[in-house]
Amino acid sequence: MASFVFCPQDTVVRMSEESHRPEKVLPRLVTMTSLVSLILGLPIVLGLNYGILHPIQGLLDEAVPAVDVILMTLGNPLGITFVGLILTGIFFTGLTRLSIASRVAYAFARDGGLPKSSYWNHLQSRRKTPQRVSWLVTAASSV
């Protein structure tokens, strides 16, 4: 779980060319994502370490021991809120990874590096987005 909190720095750098004036925006974004990662990631690491230092009976029998450690350490209302924030971060990290993978696959299709590149290299007329290759990447990552 903690690794998903530290992924946004990489995503910001990869998506920086999409922004206006990336030379000005990128340092601010990297600093802000580092602060958000620290604010969300440090309690995860500390909570898990606290739970590991104080053995909890039956923890290994649980389906997701890390979530149980957080719930037992922080209590029920705060723990559920914190796990919800973690799951939200994991979801949005997955979306950004999907965006990056779609951009890379589109670049391969555009340059003729994918089989049937002429089909995958299509941009949707209304939004000018590579919808076909995005669905290909979504299906491939779902498997």
Whole-angstrom CA distances from 7 to 14, 32, 66, 93 are: 11, 13, 19, 7
Q: Both tokens of residue 115?
A: 């089989």
Per-residue model confidence as pLDDT tens digits over 114-124: 999 999 999 98
Whole-angstrom CA distances from 91 to 13, 22, 84, 143 are: 19, 25, 10, 17
Cβ distance 70 to 79 under 8 Å? yes
Cβ distance 108 to 68 under 8 Å? no
Look up the pTM and report it. 0.65
Return the higher-pLDDT residue of 72 and 139. 139
pLDDT given for residue 62 in this prediction: 72
Per-residue model confidence as pLDDT tens digits over 91-104: 888 888 888 889 88
pLDDT given for residue 127 in this prediction: 86
pLDDT given for residue 6 in this prediction: 58
Per-residue model confidence as pLDDT tens digits over 28-62: 888 888 888 788 777 777 777 776 666 666 666 77
Per-residue model confidence as pLDDT tens digits over 57-89: 666 677 777 788 788 778 889 889 988 888 887
pLDDT given for residue 133 in this prediction: 94
Question: How big, in percent rounded to 5, are the helix, strand and coil portions of the chain?
Answer: 75, 0, 25
